[in-house]
Every structure is written in C-alpha cells, then in structure tokens.
Amino acid sequence: MKKINVNQYRNIINGILFQLIWLSVIKGFTLLGLALLSVMFIHYLFYLLRDADRIVAANLLFCLKVAVVGITVDTLYTLSSFYSFPSYEHHQLGVIPSWLCMLWVGFSLTLTMSLHFIVVKERLFKILCTIFGPLSYLAAREYGAIDFSNAVLLFIAIEWLVIGAVIIYFDALRVRSLS
C-alpha cells in the first residue's frame, strides 16, 4: 500500500476544511464558518511559511485577487437582481452576505493546494468550474441561503466559465512571478 505524503495530507485537510466552511455558512452557522476559515488560513500559512517570502507573497496575492473577483461578480449579480439572499436584509443594497465572502476566500485558498492539480489542466478546470459552480449555487438555493430563477443558471454558468479562465490567468502570473 502506498503511503500518503505530507503534501497529500495537506491537500486533504485543505479540501475538507473548505467543504466544512461551505456547509456551515450555507446552513446559517456563520461564526462556525468564520472559525473554520481562520483555521484554514492558519493551515495555509503554516505550509506556505516553509517556503521563501516571495512564494508566500505570490500565493497570498493570488488568493486575494481570486476572492476580490468572485466577491465583485457576486455583488454585481446582486445589484442586477439576478439573485437575492432571503435571510439577509442588506441584499437590497447590493451588499452580499459575509458568508459568501468567506466562501470566496476559502475557495481561493484551495486553488494552490487541494485543487491545484485541476487548475493546471486548464480546459478541464474551466469545464468543471462551469458545471460545479452553478451546482454549488443550486445546493445553496435548496438550503434557502440564496434565491434565483432557473433562467439565471445560464448566467451563473457563464460567470464560472469566466472565473475559471481568470483563475488560470492569475495562476500563470503567480507561477511566472516565482520563476
């Protein structure tokens, strides 16, 4: 039987933490989600700090850019009334809930760890983003965390196709900065 190495454990923990964050915040346990996001961030930094400062900076900048793009797109969709958040009173102002921002930060932290093996397969990554991004929003709708019409699913799929391409571009910039 093949032994699991440190990087595989790191990626497994990273992926599990993101799934726990997703489930926590979608079910309304925002503080638990924030605590788990804090643990995920510390876990992320723990592994990054073994590397050179420029690697840490490049990875954190990458995560920040991805989170900002995702939060911006979701804010624009909220302002456009593509979707709303039934249990969140500020969505009429175009402000997205903090739990959605936490999901974007958590997701960005998976892209250089547990999901990186897919990010580097560019075509596959864009296809999976186009499929699983909307499925994530559908699951959140089933839990009552977000509301949108079925017609909006096409826009969410396009959003995720574009975000997948942007992530690939940001990752290429990150890798180039480390060369």
Q: What are residue 129's DSSP bridge partners? A: none
Distance CA 156, CA 167 (A): 16
At 97-115, the pLDDT tens digits run 889 999 999 999 999 989 9
SS3 state at 5: coil
Cα 151 to Cα 137, 155, 156, 168: the distances in Å are 13, 8, 9, 27
**pTM for the predicted model, two decimal places:** 0.87
Crossing angle between the packed helical segments 53-79 and 30-48, to the nearest 10 degrees: 150
Q: What percent of the chain has pLDDT over 70?
A: 94
Query: How is the chain split into domains, by residue range?
Result: 6-178
At 149-164, the pLDDT tens digits run 999 999 999 999 999 9
Distance CA 137, CA 25 (A): 13
Distance CA 16, CA 35 (A): 14
Q: What angle do CA 132, 44, 158 make, to 5 degrees?
A: 20
